[in-house]
Amino acid sequence: MPVKVTMISPDDGSLLKEQDGYWVSEAGIRYPVMNGIPDLRPQKGVKGHIEYELQNHASFRNYVYQRSLVPMFPENLRIQDDLKESNISGFVPPAHENAFCLDHGCGGGSMRSFLESYGYEYVGIDNESGVTTDQGGGERFGGGATHVGDLHRLPFPDNTFQFSVSYSVFEHLQQPIVAAKELFRVMEPGGICFAAVASIIPFHMDSFYHHTHFGVLNTFASAGFEVKQIVPADWNAYVAISAMDGLPGPKWIRNLAANTIFGLHRFLWHFRTISKRRDPQLEETRRRLLMPGIVKAILVKPG
């Protein structure tokens, strides 16, 4: 029998117990179950205070950003038809007994079978608010949650998850550092998170904060994570903007325009590198970091 994840009240933090078709907190707050899925969104709203410490900008400049991800678990690396799954596979740790994996902002739950194939008990959480948006096709990203909840107030105890994936989620959160601290809280010590965050792409599905590589480092380091790797996706902003409704019109026209501009961008960058005798490797890293559609990060909770 699958082991069920323990749930807590997002309002008072107490353990939830099943009672008369609801999940009920110690204070008597009742959370409904809809089609077998608990709705654990806070009923008292979410508010609070954030402790923060500003870092010297040199710490962001001196961080060693990479051009491509280096797998932590090469034995788990799989080349999948799905690009997201291929990206994630080399970072999924061997599951210990009764290990839980959190699909953070799971949308349609498309990665469920992939993550379960590594031996994890799957937990997918989403508030599903994006499915009602007119901009960005949110209707394709709903219905996959095992738990409905608010990512700023996760309904799970501390140290619950061995692995988590948060793919194109943090840009949609009103307070990303609050959500990052919550993700940190529910990860096991030594737990690993694969995060991908929108950078230079159009507004979509009620997005709030698109991140640069500095922003990704700041958000997750501020939450307490060890940020092991930060890599710009091989998806340049010129192409990403076209793909995500930044250029209207027939797809072939959009692709032609985007790829022409992108090709010119690469040519001019290469020309400047050669003419000014700059280091080609450093310049290519700079070019990729300047205008990525998405920034990816590998995070570890110390312990």
* Domains of the chain: residue spans and CATH: 57-236+288-300 (3.40.50.150)
What's phi and psi for 73, nearest 5 deg?
-130, 80
- Could you tell me which of 236, 155, 227 has the C-alpha nearest to residue 194? 227
- The per-residue pLDDT for 131 is 53
Tokens of 106: 């799971």
- In DSSP terms, 229 is beta-bridged to 298
Number of other residues whose CB lies within 10 A of the CB of residue 143: 15
Q: How many CA atoms lie within 13 A of 96 on its CB side?
A: 7
Rg (Cα) of the chain, in Å, rounded?
20
| DSSP secondary structure of the chain | -PPPPP-B-TTT-PBPEEETTEEE-TT--EEEEETTEEB---SS---------PPPHHHHHHS---SS---S-GGG----SSHHHHHHHTT-PPP-TT-EEEEET-TT-TTHHHHHTTTPEEEEEE--GGGG-SSS-GGGG-S--SEE-BTTB-SS-TT-EEEEEEES-GGG-SSHHHHHHHHHHHEEEEEEEEEEEE-SS---TT------HHHHHHHHHHHT-EEEEEEE-S-BHHHHHHHTTSS-S-HHHHHHHHHHHHHHHHHHHHHHHHHTT--HHHHHHHHHHHSBSEEEEEEE---
How does pLDDT run along the chain (303 residues), one tens digit per residue? 456 999 999 999 999 999 999 999 999 999 999 889 999 999 998 899 988 899 999 999 999 999 999 999 999 888 877 889 999 999 999 999 999 999 999 988 999 999 999 999 999 999 865 555 565 555 555 678 999 999 999 999 999 999 999 999 999 999 999 999 999 999 999 999 999 999 999 998 889 999 999 999 999 999 999 999 999 999 999 999 999 989 999 999 999 999 999 999 999 999 999 999 999 999 999 999 999 999 999 999 999
Residue with tokens 């996959």: 144
- The per-residue pLDDT for 195 is 98
Do the Cβ atoms of 287 and 224 come closer than 8 Å?
no
> How far is Cα 7 from Cα 14, in angstroms, rounded to an integer?
9
- The per-residue pLDDT for 1 is 47
Do the Cβ atoms of 118 and 97 come closer than 8 Å?
no
- The per-residue pLDDT for 45 is 87
- The per-residue pLDDT for 82 is 86
Do the Cβ atoms of 220 and 227 come closer than 8 Å?
yes
- The per-residue pLDDT for 2 is 59
- Give every CB contact of residue 169 below 8 A, 6+ residues apart in sequence: 104, 105, 151, 195, 197
